[in-house]
């Protein structure tokens, strides 16, 4: 799958965001090494700290289905381009920082950056 289609998959998923508190929809699409795509949305909770971002939703879905090697992650929001939060950067870094992170206001204006650039010197054990 090309990165434009990956972004479109994130955008389509975004409609399923559960965000009654922020009203800020986020969609993510994670491309695995073998070409499988896992989408995710933000899922909020009345206990705000229990909320989970779209990027981690996609990653948790992938890991729990046996996929832990990724090529790219596309992210979008209801307000256009969205920059992945710090917790998600660290969470994804667990599985490798050579990941291409794709953002953009729409599928025709994409920015691609390595996770290693977005989170230099990530923590590891
Ligand atoms: N959010 C994400 O899903 N991903 C990010 O990288 C940043 C923030 C969500 C969390 C919350 O549901 C909403 O956006 C507003 O912060």
| Catalytic residue flag (residue 55) | yes
Whose alpha carbon is nearest atom 7 of ligand 1? 85
Full-model pTM: 0.98
pLDDT at 105: 97
Q: What is the DSSP string of 35-91?
A: S-EEEEE-B--SSGGG-B-HHHHHHHHHHHTT---EEEEEEEETTB--PPPHHHHHH
pLDDT at 110: 98
Selecting among 44, 55, 65, 117, the annotated active-site residue is: 55
Distance 34 CA to ligand 1 centre (A): 27
Q: Does ligand 1 lie within 6 Å of residue 51's CB atom?
A: yes
pLDDT by residue, tens only, the chain of 125 residues: 999 999 999 999 999 999 999 999 999 999 999 999 999 999 999 999 999 999 999 999 999 999 999 999 999 999 999 999 999 999 999 999 999 999 999 999 999 999 999 999 999 99
């Amino acid at each position: 799958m090309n990165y434009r289609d990956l972004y479109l998959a994130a955008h389509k998923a975004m409609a399923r965001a559960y965000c009654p508190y922020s009203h800020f929809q986020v969609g993510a699409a994670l491309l695995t090494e073998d070409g499988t795509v896992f989408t995710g949305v933000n899922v909020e909770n009345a206990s705000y700290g229990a909320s989970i971002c779209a990027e981690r939703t996609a990653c948790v879905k992938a890991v729990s289905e046996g996929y832990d090697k990724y090529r790219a992650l596309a992210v979008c929001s209801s307000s256009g381009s969205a920059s992945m939060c710090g917790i998600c950067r660290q969470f994804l870094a667990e599985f490798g920082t050579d990941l291409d992170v794709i953002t953009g206001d729409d599928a025709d204006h994409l920015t691609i950056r390595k996770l290693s650039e977005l989170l230099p010197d990530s923590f590891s054990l």
